[in-house]
């Protein structure tokens, strides 16, 4: 009972931990939520009595809430944030003031409400840990509040509550939750996802963007935010995985055809053919690979090259085409989404055998009004033409021209320092002075050089394929893999080819090297498995499971006859009901025969006071001749036994004293069990 006052703080701090890990609140919001809880903990440590300052403290809380509501509405933009802040302020105030049992129950209720706000905003693995901690904490608080009134009535030192019961109750909750898991859907709501995320390519950190501004100065910093996991088909060999990695080396996001001064923007580029595959029509498809997409501030889907991509999207989501030959979500997705993708180049188009043509896009000339935009070079056109003429003089086919110019550019230096970003003509400075830059400069330079030589060309933004994770069994793509390359039109083959003039970038050492890299890969693998096998189960996998069960039950109901155990009939549901009945009967019998064991473990059951439970062996031995009389006390029954065998009177009196110590004094029952075992030997059944 020494720390009973501190148990009231458990719901508040557990709720705070759960809310802080959701990622939907700004850092300053998370820090501000802890202020009232920290102040209340300080009051508890100093053992201050603020009862006489109650009204002043409540008035201060009201003033603070009135002042912060406009800030929260302007910066957080939601009623939920205001409610969460209000609950934390109220909990801190309640913890700082004197409190009785009703106020302590209010604290538990407010903590539960805060926990619910977490439950509807995340389904990550961290939430499972906080959910378990919350259940254990709530059990401890409830146990403490139920134990104290009766414990204070006992004689002698006040015993501590049996806190071990909290773990058993938590285990019982997990068992029940596991039973309901299959049937009850869980909903993930996106409440301000990624509130302080980077601004991607358009800002100072790496990432995918729908435009490209060469005039941006300053270094591009790394950005380890995970974009997607790409999982090969089940059972694929290492050789197959290597071949798949070659096919997925470039993930196409948005095509940028129009150049305005030093900025690339999407044009009215048509998207290649793509179609949706329903969940029940996989039989005629090759084995799919799965792309798991993390929440993002863009709706663009970066997908592999394919002449006729086919994929299955999650239920309830709409996928459309957009500018820049993009495939997009109809609206930003708040949580992880998963696509099963079919149809890569080389499979549906086996006629194209060239290794260099594994990335291509089919499109027939003429390009209509896009023709002028696909040849426009802007103010850096003359510089690009001079470089192209020096590197590849004379007339050569577009494919050879692109390969030779790309080879020249790969001799430049790759860097994120962006030395040409502040120049008046960034591409001219890149080609003639710095000869160093990031992928945007390499892709733009090759595009302008090809256009200056009469070859239709354009820039593409997307991703390179990230490293393979042995721990998770997937390719991991982060924003650091955001990349730009070139597509140019080959009139002989009548499709767009891909050229990547950027030198190979160094590997992401944070994920591929050292102890911390291994830790990050393991953590990401655990989170991915949690999302795939637990979180997703309540979505389309759950519906698929119900569909499968319904189909099996329907097939069972259509059966005309059946035979089982010598019983014939035409109603399979009767067979099923009989099996359920017998199973339930058997389970009930086992529970009844073991009731003493499990009721004791739960702290329930028994005839009379707690001290009578270990006396069961003696009761069974004497129940035929000397059963307890209704209204008879424990000591009275044992003394009646002593009257039958006077030589056992001393032992039975010791037994009675030990039983009373267990029942009313909180003593352990080891001594009582030994005395009962010794006494049973002197009585015949």
DSSP state letters, 417-472: S-TTTTSSSHHHHIIIII-EE-HHHHHHHHHHHHHHTT--EEEEEEEE---EETTT
Range ranked top by mean pLDDT from 10-14, 269-273, 402-406? 402-406
Q: Which residues pair with 264 in a beta bridge?
A: 212, 259
Ramachandran region of residue 418, left (φ > 0), alpha (ψ -120 to 50) or beta?
left
CB neighbours of 422 closer than 8 A, spacing ≥ 6?
A: 217
Token pair belonging to 672: 């009582």
Confidence of residue 599 (pLDDT cuts 50, 70, 90): low
Mean pLDDT of 238-267: 89
pLDDT at 3 (0 to 100): 63
Token pair belonging to 76: 């957080």
Mean pLDDT of 45-52: 81
Token match 């033409």: residue?
Answer: 385
Residue 575: CB atoms within 10 Å? 17
Residues 353, 360: Cα–Cα separation, whole Å: 12
pLDDT at 564 (0 to 100): 41
Token pair belonging to 505: 């970038």
Phi, psi (deg, nearest 5) at residue 153: -85, -10
Q: Are 505 and 413 in contact (CB under 8 A)?
A: no
Mean pLDDT of 99-107: 82
In three-state secondary structure terms, 476 is strand
For residue 208, whether the previous peptide bond is cis, meaning omega lies within 30 degrees of 0, is no
Q: What percent of the chain has pLDDT over 90?
A: 14
- Could you list the beta-strand ranges (E) of 500-625: 562-564, 567-569
Token pair belonging to 532: 């795939």
pLDDT at 384 (0 to 100): 92
Torsion over CA: 117, 331, 244, 308 (sign): positive
Token pair belonging to 497: 């080819």
Residues 535, 185: Cα–Cα separation, whole Å: 10
Q: Tell me: pLDDT of 566 over 60.
A: no
Tell me: the pLDDT tens digits for 506-560? 665 555 566 666 777 777 777 777 666 666 555 555 556 656 666 666 666 554 4
Name the least confident of 45-59, 153-167, 337-351, 466-480: 337-351
Name the least confident of 133-142, 311-320, 342-351, 648-657: 342-351
pLDDT at 408 (0 to 100): 93
Q: Are 613 and 595 in contact (CB under 8 A)?
A: no
pLDDT at 543 (0 to 100): 58
pLDDT at 186 (0 to 100): 47
Mean pLDDT of 142-160: 71
pLDDT at 569 (0 to 100): 41
Residues 350, 345: Cα–Cα separation, whole Å: 8
Long-range contacts of 123-128 (CB under 8 A, 24+ apart): 123/186, 123/188, 123/335, 123/531, 123/535, 124/21, 124/527, 124/530, 124/531, 124/535, 125/526, 125/527, 125/530, 125/531, 126/21, 127/18, 127/21, 127/22, 128/530, 128/534
Nearest-5° Cα angle at 32, 31 to 36: 115
Residue whose C-alpha is closest to residue 44's, from 5, 14, 11? 5
Q: Would you give the end-to-end CA distance of the chain in angstroms? A: 44
Residues 525, 534: Cα–Cα separation, whole Å: 14
Confidence of residue 106 (pLDDT cuts 50, 70, 90): confident
Residue 192: CB atoms within 10 Å? 18
Mean pLDDT of 314-335: 79
More confident residue, 171 or 395: 395
Residues 360, 496: Cα–Cα separation, whole Å: 5
Mean pLDDT of 18-42: 81
In three-state secondary structure terms, 221 is strand
Token pair belonging to 565: 């155990």
Mean pLDDT of 421-450: 90
Residue whose C-alpha is closest to residue 15's, from 189, 146, 173, 133? 133
Token pair belonging to 642: 């002593």
pLDDT at 350 (0 to 100): 45
Laid out side by side, the sheet with 337-342 consists of 273-276, 308-312, 337-342, 289-293, 226-231, 474-478, 468-469
pLDDT at 563 (0 to 100): 45
pLDDT at 500 (0 to 100): 93
Q: What percent of the chain has pLDDT over 70?
A: 72
| Core vs surface per residue 597-628: b (16+ CB within 10 A) or e | eeebeeeeebebebbbbbbeebbebbeeebeb
- Measure Cα distances from 550 to 280, 554, 555, 556, 648 in Å: 15, 6, 9, 10, 67
Residues 187, 538: Cα–Cα separation, whole Å: 8
Mean pLDDT of 71-96: 73
Q: What is the four-CA torsion angle of 121, 123, 126, 131, rounded to 10 degrees?
A: 80
Mean pLDDT of 285-291: 73
How many residues appear in the chain? 685
Q: Are 80 and 33 in contact (CB under 8 A)?
A: no
Token pair belonging to 425: 């003509």
Mean pLDDT of 251-266: 90
Q: Are 612 and 663 in contact (CB under 8 A)?
A: yes
Residues 154, 664: Cα–Cα separation, whole Å: 7
Mean pLDDT of the chain: 76
- Measure Cα distances from 404 to 143, 266, 387, 428, 596 in Å: 77, 27, 12, 20, 85
In three-state secondary structure terms, 411 is coil
In three-state secondary structure terms, 209 is coil
Name the least confident of 7-21, 136-150, 151-165, 208-222: 151-165
Range ranked top by mean pLDDT from 49-58, 147-156, 252-261, 319-328? 252-261
pLDDT at 522 (0 to 100): 76
Q: Tell me: pLDDT of 648 over 90.
A: no
Q: What is the pTM of this model?
A: 0.57
Q: Tell me: pLDDT of 605 over 70.
A: no
């Amino acid at each position: 009972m020494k720390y009973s006052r501190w148990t009231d703080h458990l719901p508040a701090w557990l709720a705070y931990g759960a809310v802080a890990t959701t990622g939907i609140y700004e850092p300053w919001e998370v820090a501000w939520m802890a202020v009232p809880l920290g102040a209340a903990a300080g009051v508890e440590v100093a053992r201050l009595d603020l009862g006489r300052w109650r009204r002043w403290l409540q008035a201060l809380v009201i003033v603070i809430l009135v002042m912060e509501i406009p800030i929260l509405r302007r910066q957080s933009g939601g009623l939920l944030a205001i409610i969460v802040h209000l609950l934390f302020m109220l909990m801190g105030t309640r913890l700082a003031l004197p409190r009785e049992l009703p106020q302590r129950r209010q604290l538990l209720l407010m903590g539960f409400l805060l926990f619910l706000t977490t439950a509807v905003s995340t389904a990550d693995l961290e939430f499972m840990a906080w959910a378990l901690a919350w259940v254990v904490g709530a059990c401890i608080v409830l146990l403490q509040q139920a134990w104290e009134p009766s414990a204070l009535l006992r004689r002698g030192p006040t015993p501590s509550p049996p806190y071990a019961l909290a773990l058993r109750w938590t285990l019982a909750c997990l068992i029940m939750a596991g039973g309901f898991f299959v049937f009850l859907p869980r909903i993930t709501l996106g409440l301000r996802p990624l509130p302080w995320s980077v601004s991607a390519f358009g800002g100072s950190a790496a990432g995918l963007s729908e435009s490209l501004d060469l005039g941006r100065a300053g270094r591009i910093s790394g950005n380890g935010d995970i974009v997607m996991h790409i999982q090969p088909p089940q059972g694929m060999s290492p050789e197959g995985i290597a071949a798949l990695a070659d096919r997925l080396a470039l993930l196409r996001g948005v095509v940028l055809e129009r150049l305005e001064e030093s900025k690339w923007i999407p044009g009215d580029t048509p998207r290649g053919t793509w179609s949706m595959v329903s969940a029940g029509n996989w039989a005629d498809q090759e084995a799919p690979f799965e792309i798991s997409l993390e929440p993002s501030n863009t709706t663009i889907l970066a997908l592999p090259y394919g002449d006729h991509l086919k994929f299955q999207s999650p239920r309830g989501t709409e996928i459309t085409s957009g500018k820049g030959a993009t495939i997009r979500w109809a609206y930003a997705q708040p949580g992880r989404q998963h696509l099963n993708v079919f149809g890569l180049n080389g499979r549906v188009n086996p006629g194209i055998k060239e290794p260099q043509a594994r990335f291509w896009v089919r499109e027939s000339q003429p390009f209509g009004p896009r023709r002028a935009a696909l040849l426009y070079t802007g103010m850096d056109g003359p510089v690009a033409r001079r470089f192209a003429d020096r590197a590849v003089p004379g007339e050569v086919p577009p494919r050879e021209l692109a390969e030779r110019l790309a080879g020249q550019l790969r001799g430049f230096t790759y860097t994120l320092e962006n030395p040409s970003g502040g120049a008046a003509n960034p591409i001219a400075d890149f080609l003639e002075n710095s000869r160093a830059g990031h992928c945007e400069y390499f892709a733009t330079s090759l595009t302008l050089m090809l256009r200056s030589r009469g070859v239709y060309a354009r820039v593409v933004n997307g991703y390179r394929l990230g490293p393979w994770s042995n721990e998770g069994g997937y390719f991991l793509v982060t924003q650091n893999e955001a990349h730009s390359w070139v597509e140019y039109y080959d009139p002989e083959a009548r499709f767009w080819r891909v050229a990547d003039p950027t030198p190979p970038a160094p590997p992401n050492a944070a994920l591929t090297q050292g102890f911390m890299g291994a830790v990050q890969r393991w953590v990401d693998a655990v989170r991915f498995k949690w999302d795939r096998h637990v979180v997703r189960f309540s979505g389309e996998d759950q519906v698929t499971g119900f569909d499968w069960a319904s189909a099996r039950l329907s097939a069972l109901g259509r059966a005309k006859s059946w035979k089982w155990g010598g019983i014939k009939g035409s109603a399979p549901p009767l067979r099923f009901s009989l099996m359920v009945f017998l199973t339930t009967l058997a389970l009930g019998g086992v529970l009844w025969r073991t009731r003493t064991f499990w009721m004791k473990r739960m702290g329930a059951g028994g005839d009379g006071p707690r001290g009578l439970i270990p006396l069961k062996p003696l009761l069974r031995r004497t129940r035929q001749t000397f059963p307890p009389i209704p209204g008879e006390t424990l000591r009275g029954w044992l003394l009646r036994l002593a009257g039958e065998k006077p030589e056992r009177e001393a032992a039975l009196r010791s037994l009675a004293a030990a039983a009373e110590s267990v029942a009313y004094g909180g003593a352990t029952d080891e001594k009582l069990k030994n005395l009962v075992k010794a006494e049973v030997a002197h009585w015949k059944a």
